[in-house]
Structure 1
Amino acid sequence: MNNKSQEDNLPKLLNHPYLKRMLLFAVAVQFVMTALSFFAHIWLGVLMLILFLITLAIIWQFSNEYNDELNNYILNLSYRIKRGQQEALIKMPMGIILLNDENQIEWINPYMQLQLPSEQQLLGEPIKEVNQNLSDYFENDKREDFNLVEWNEKIYKVSLQKDINALYLLDITEYATATEEYEKTRPVVGWLFLDNYDEITQGLDDRGISGFDSLLTTYFSNWGKQHGIFYKRISDDRYFLLLDREKLDRLEKDKFNIIDNVRDRTSKRNLPLTISIGLSYGEAPFDKLADLAQSNLDLALGRGGDQAIVKAVDEEPRYYGGKTNPMEKRTRVRSRMISQAMQKLMKDSDKIFVMGHKNPDMDSVGSSLGVARIAMMLKKEVYVVIDEDDINKDVAKLIQKIKEYKQLNDNLISSKEAERLINPDDLVVLVDHHKPVLSIAPSLLRKSKRNMVIDHHRRGEEFTENPLLVYIEPYASSTAELITELFEYVSTDGEPINRIEATAMLGGIVVDTNNFSLRTGSRTFDAASYLQSVGANSTMIQRLLKEDPKNYLKRSELIQTLDYVIDGVAIAHGKNDEVYPSVTAAQTADTMLSMSGVEAAFVITRRSEETVGISARSLGKINVQTIMEKMGGGGHLSNAATQIDDRSISEVIEELKEVIHSQLD
């Protein structure tokens, strides 16, 4: 028990009613016995009376002495408590600051004064002028959010007693320093992968491979020593990395320039090597960190390689590098393997549902029709999910053409119809996207246990859960190009691709390459040639993509707002109270790229009353994908976009400018 509780309990013990009754009862009993003694014998009565008086005297004396001692004890205890409070207030290692009603310092305890420079006098000074952090803490209602304050090179944990305007400051500098040191030395686990090592060394003899390996060993050894990184080569194209948070901060500050340095140095030897890195850290066992690092590496490779991805446990990933177009790793052998695997999945499924992304473009619809045709060639029941209330004019024209083909028209169903028809064992094929949130009917992925992905966009962190087959090739110009290559390995027992399907797929390639001017490789022309040979109608594509005069005027209106953020980067924007079609913004960005001095173009328009969209395009020198990812979107190095809710056009412009400066300056 503390002193206060003792002080409270002792008087209660002395004045307790039960004790009083016992004493009175004892006195009454002795008085009765004394009275009865006189009846027995006079001298016995006298003796008992004398004893009775002596007992009363002793009780009286004891009571007085006990009260005196008790009073002295209480007075001494009260003095010691008050003295202890005063000593604690003056000497305890905690700062105390009292403020008046005008938030001026009225008093500070001696301990706090000792923590300040001798020449600094605080009495009478407004707390705001003494320390802004303390002032913010005192005035903010949510003080628990920032109760650590730095002052005179020390860190204090602050609490407030509002009724007397008292601030209490506990010096935790030692603990904060220890915590900071602990954070700096926390382990970081990672994997480094040589993206195209096999392709580079394929044409070298043993001596050339040995020389190339020696070059890599020398460079990685110097890099490891410079940054304090432990590395171990696990296989020909894979390294294990171990470092701490402080070293990781240095690498992030340098934006992982090892990626550019390796590519530049090896390019000078005509052996252009790119690397990808996945790193992880946080509150998790080493095996979990290694798995997370591998997932980050897989994500980097899925985005085309030549980049580093850093992710802590339960945090968003951070991206570095990715400045070059992904190198082509797709081969005819892989296309054949993917085609055969997809056919097996289709044969093992009762029904097949194919769907692209919301507000589908020509590539999304053309790819869906291509996958559906492969399923029909295998004589499987297939449906293409499309929302005719959420399509652009060019796609609407294409849908009208498709309706002229009865079988294809019967395969087109709405998302509600698909939800009614689908079973857990049916196959869902996502084309031209891999994020469930972008799907026309995300609920299909929840109702079916089987799904696969075919896409040409760089992989983002969000991904379809447990896909049975993934075919993502960021090098490809379009998803239609990927699917066109799969036809070569499909049995011809069923009805082959028809004219409208070939036209839609070629239209997808034309739209995504901006008439074969962007992201176009030899395989793109091979795919276009095949589609042309099976009946694709180029004239129909031109008619489908014909621009409405009003849209042309809208584009001109947007271009008039063109403004350069930095050299080579231009922004155009629409009116805040006017909704623009997404295709108008995309076409405007493409048009801006044709202007001299524009390397990257961003067009900001309102897509609905609640949503503002950004269409981003680049000639390849500037990575617009990473810029859009910072704002919640994604896409390609040269073609990306995002949508932002509950913001005005001007607010989005300012945010975009900040991101551009942070990414490119």
Structure 2
Amino acid sequence: MNREDKKSSSFSWSQSSQLLLTVIIIIQFILVITGLVIRPMLGLGMLILVGLSYFIILQLKKRYLAEIEDYVQHLSVRVKKGEEESLVKMPIGIILYDEDNDNQIEWLNPYMMGQISGKNIIGRNLNKQAPVLVEKLEKNKEKNNFYIHYNDKTFQVIREKDQQILYFLDITQRYNIEQKYLNSRPVIGFLLLDNYDELTRSMDDREILKFDTLLTTYFSNWFKQRNIYYKKIDDDRYLLVTNREELADMEEEKFNIIDSIRERTSKRSAPLTISLGLSYSDDNDYHQMAESAESNVELALARGGDQAIINKVGEDPQFYGGKSDPMVKRTRVRARMVTQALESLINQSETVFVMGHKQSDLDSVGSSLGVRRIAELNDKEAFVVIDQDELNNDVRYVIDESLENDQIGPYIISPREAVKKADENSLVIMVDHHRTSMSLAAELIDISNRLVIIDHHRRGNEFPEDPTLVYIEPYASSASELVTEMFEYASNEGLPINALEATALLGGIVVDSNNFSLRTGSRTFNAASFLQSVGADNKIIRDILSEKPEVFIERSRLIEKMEEVIKGVYITCGSEEKEYNPIIAAQTADTMLTLTGVEASFVITQRPDKLIGISARSSGRINVQVIMEKMGGGGHLSNAATQLKDVSLKEAKEQLVETIHDLLGQ
């Protein structure tokens, strides 16, 4: 018996037992002495009995300790054998590897051997034997406890970095139960027929009934196939109830119902487009889900319709679709109503501040000057907020001319001056943008309790809280076009606008429509015609937009490096050591789009502010706005951009290529 076993045996014969035995022996010894004193023969007999009993007790103790020793030894053998058996037979994978020796496999148990190759691969390279497994492990290299899917199973992986050991626990059954539970969680949504009223306005009752029957049949079949409950709650609105699994399937299909409805009704003068808003939550709060879904469908409509927006309650939404050009949805009735509402707000305010976005372009400046004129027609003092330290050459000319104009010059102020002048009764008007982070003087929005937004970009995630009036027309050519239309309904006597303002507005339309080649409809030409009638000078616009030879050469060098990512989609990158004006990047993207076979163009450059800028353009078939939104930017279906921080040009290009492949699926 070794030392440890002796300690165990000795401890088993407990101290309490020894104490009890000692007490009994002392008592017996006292009785024997007493017996010897009183009756020697009786005492002698008692002494013999005590000695015999003590001998028997010692023998019993020895036998007991021997049995304990045998039990412990047998148990040790069983435990050791069980450890060995468990390492070999238990359904838990174990891999010992040498990270310093190119992930060489030092040992693995038979269970893990069967998962990888079924052969003895000890001493071989894990990267070569199980590259897929290594790839999944690399994605979670910063974690010590994570899940991976491998060989149709789900494993919980526990990594012991110090010991370089990996434990693989097969939790497939538990994972499947969890997924089944999560997939059954409810989703609430709303479906809106964007232009139902416009399409049915010219129909008689019989045609409307036929059209409704067509829609009902299609919706009924489509929703039944996807296990979606739907209920018509208005002529153009449906309530939807489904689960997370069906939602995931619809996302995988990119909500093809949107394209399908448009194609099925494309034979009409204008195809029907639909918008979907869906929402879900972890705590199954139906009230919050319904509110969020309704907000999503309204956001989809504000972005131009023909798209689906989904989100988890409390998180940013995801966008799908948005491929159509709903020019027919714009009505002059809305333009008149917005103009009247704007004039009412102007009359209720003490001071008006009009501001465009940072890095102001002609559209931003032209629409700002136009709105200022509308305020002046209503006898209100209005200021245009301009940061003169961030002006490009084309905008610089307009601002310099405006500063020299006695009617306009005194009302052009810097963002700092605007903040000093503003109070809670001021009216702040954002033009050509709706993202607070892009505003020239975002502090104005916090100071004032009245905010108006006039924009032609699709509404994004970032949006001011509770604006008083919102006029967003995503498929107008420019903010300048929207402002120009307002003069038709604005209160005025005589000439509503001077030649300089008209020239700035026309310049804004020309720039944003790429010389009337993009997002141009009849109303765009009507606006341009009106501006020319009140003195807009095409020659000045041509001179403003003319470029220096070095700019043309720089653009040509960028175009020379363009490469095709997928069919019809081209990317070009500037030099790492060179900074590019954002205008050059935008013009390069526009020029690339004029080349044969180019459906979408992306220009990646380093800006003077050290950010990496991406300018995106599309002929209309590809939605570049969704791609830019995925990368934190925004814009329009055919004209969008984003800026990235703390990345190199190479990293920005890799992100863009990955996003294009994810969204376009090629």
TM-score (norm. length: structure 1): 0.84
2:277 aligned residue: 278
Q: 1:49 to 1:366 in 2, by over 3 A?
A: farther
Q: Counterpart of 2:305 in 1: which secondary structure?
A: coil
Q: Please state how far the C-alpha of 1:424 moved relative to its aligned partner.
A: 3.8
**Post-superposition offset of 1:184:** 3.5
* Structure 1: stretches of 5+ with no match in the other structure: none
Kindly report which structure 2 residues correspond to 1:88-99, keeping only aligned pairs within 5 A, or say none.
Answer: 90-91=85-86, 93-95=90-92, 97=94, 99=96
**C-alpha distance in structure 2 between counterparts of 1:51 and 1:198, whole Å:** 119
Q: Distance in 2 between matches of 1:137 and 1:572?
A: 32
Please state if 1:190 is matched with 2:185: no
Superposition map of 1:377-526 within 5 A:
377-406=377-406, 408-492=408-492, 496-526=496-526
Q: Per-residue displacement from partner, 1:590-610 (whole Å, max 9, x unpaired)?
A: 333344443433333322363
Residue 9 to residue 355, structure 1, CA distance change in 2 (3 Å): farther
- Cα shift readout 1:80-136 (whole Å, capped 9, x = no counterpart): 366246436525844253637674354626x768x6699644566554455446656
Shift of the 10–421 alpha-carbon distance from structure 1 to 2, 3 Å rule, reads: farther
Q: What secondary structure is seen at the aligned counterpart in 1 of 2:265?
A: helix
1:34-183 → structure 2 map (5 Å cutoff): 43=38, 69=64, 72-73=67-68, 76=71, 79-80=74-75, 83-84=78-79, 86-87=81-82, 90-91=85-86, 93-95=90-92, 97=94, 99=96, 103-106=104-107, 108=109, 120-121=119-120, 127-128=126-127, 130-132=129-131, 142-144=142-144, 146-148=146-148, 150-151=150-151, 153-161=152-160, 166-183=165-182
Q: Which residue of structure 1 aligns with residue 616 of structure 2? A: 616
**Which residue is equivalent to 1:261?**
260
Q: Deviations over 1:308-343 (max 9, x none)?
A: 223334555433322222233232322232223223
Q: Match of 1:636, as an amino acid?
A: H
SS at match of 1:463: coil
Letter in 1 for 2:246: K
SS at 2:465's partner residue? coil
**1:132 to 1:72, Cα distance in 2 relative to 1, 3 A:** farther
What is the CA-CA distance between 1:388 and the residue it aligns to?
0.9
Cα distance between partner residues in 2 of 1:98 and 1:543? 72
1:575 alignment partner, SS class: coil
- 1:241 maps to a residue whose letter is L
Go from structure 1 to structure 2 and tell me whether the alpha carbon gap of 1:189 and 1:64 turns closer, same or farther (over 3 Å shift): same
What amino acid is the match of 1:87? G
1:367 partnered with 2:367: yes
Aligned to 1:221: 220
Shift of 1:360: 0.7
Amino acid at match of 2:334: R
Asked if the contact 2:146/2:156 (under 8 Å) is kept, the reply is no
Distance 1:587 1:165 in 2: 54
Does the C-alpha gap of structure 1 residues 536 and 76 become closer, same or farther in structure 2, counting only changes over 3 Å? Answer: same
Q: Which sits farther off after the overlay, 549-558 or 494-503? A: 494-503
Distance 2:548 2:122 in 1: 74
* Structure 2 SS opposite 1:482: helix
> Would the aligned equivalents of 2:97 and 2:105 in 1 still touch at CA under 8 Å?
yes
Look up the equivalent residue of 2:302 and give its one-letter code: G
**Secondary structure, counterpart of 2:246 in structure 1:** helix
Number of residues of Structure 1 aligned to a counterpart in Structure 2: 652
Q: For structure 1, which segment, 156-165 or 277-286, has the greater mean C-alpha deviation from structure 2 after superposition?
A: 156-165
Distance apart, 1:395 and its partner CA: 0.7
Structure 1 pair 326/98, CA: closer, same or farther in 2 (3 Å)? closer
Tell me if structure 2 keeps the 8 A contact 1:352–1:380.
yes
Distance in 1 between the 2:122 and 2:53 partners? Answer: 61
Residue 515 (structure 1) shift: 2.7
- Deviates most, 454-463 or 56-65: 56-65
Q: Give unmatched runs, 5+ long, in structure 2.
A: none
Q: Determine what percentage of the aligned residue pairs are the same residue.
A: 47
Match of 2:233, SS state, is strand
Instruction: Give the 3-state SS of the residue equivalent to 2:247 in structure 1.
Output: helix
One-letter amino acid of the counterpart of residue 99, structure 1:
L
Q: Tell me how far apart the structure 2 counterparts of residues 46 and 379 of structure 1 sit (CA, whole Å).
A: 139
Q: Distance in 1 between matches of 2:390 and 2:593?
A: 28
* Alpha-carbon distance between aligned partners in 2 of 1:93 and 1:660, rounded to the nearest angstrom: 45
Contact 2:258–2:273 (Cα < 8 Å) also in 1:
yes
Query: Residue 190 of structure 1 contacts residue 293 of structure 1 at CA under 8 Å; is this kept in 2?
Result: yes
Output one character per residue of 1:344-383: Cα deviation in whole Å (capped at 9) or x when no partner: 3333434332211110111111111222223333333433
Q: Structure 1 pair 75/494, CA: closer, same or farther in 2 (3 Å)?
A: farther
Equivalent-residue separation in structure 2 for 1:162 and 1:601 (angstroms): 46
In structure 2, relative to structure 1, the CA distance for the partners of 1:157 and 1:623 (3 Å cut) is closer
Q: Does the CA-based 8 Å contact 2:194-2:273 persist in structure 1?
A: yes
Q: Distance in 1 between matches of 2:382 and 2:519?
A: 31
**Secondary structure of 1:531 counterpart:** helix
In structure 1, what is the equivalent of residue 544 of structure 2?
544
Residue 235 of structure 1 is matched in structure 2 by 234
Give yes or no for contact 1:424–1:448 (8 Å, CA) kept in 2.
yes
Look up the SS of the partner of 1:268 in the other structure.
coil
Displacement after TM superposition at 1:28 (Å): 9.7
Q: Residue 78 of structure 2 aligns to which amino acid in structure 1? A: R
Q: Paired residue for 1:320?
A: 320
Kept in 2, the 8 Å contact 1:376–1:494? The answer is no
Tell me how far apart the structure 1 counterparts of residues 108 and 194 of structure 2 sit (CA, whole Å).
Answer: 66
Q: Which residue of 2 aligns with 1:585?
A: 585
2:199 is the counterpart of 1:204: no
CA positional deviation for 1:206: 0.6
State the secondary structure of the residue aligned to 1:104: strand
Q: Encode CA deviations 1:43-67: one digit per residue, 9 max, x unaligned.
A: 4999999999999998898688568
Question: CA distance change for structure 1 residues 445 and 127 in 2, over 3 Å: closer, same or farther?
Answer: same
Deviation at 1:237, TM superposition (A): 0.6
CA distance in 1, matches of 2:440, 2:325: 29
RMSD (Å) for aligned C-alpha atoms? 4.0
Q: Distance in 1 between matches of 2:47 and 2:427?
A: 107
Moved more, 127-136 or 509-518: 127-136
Aligned partners of 2:161 and 2:277: how far apart in 1?
A: 49
Contact 2:558 2:588 in 1 (8 A): yes
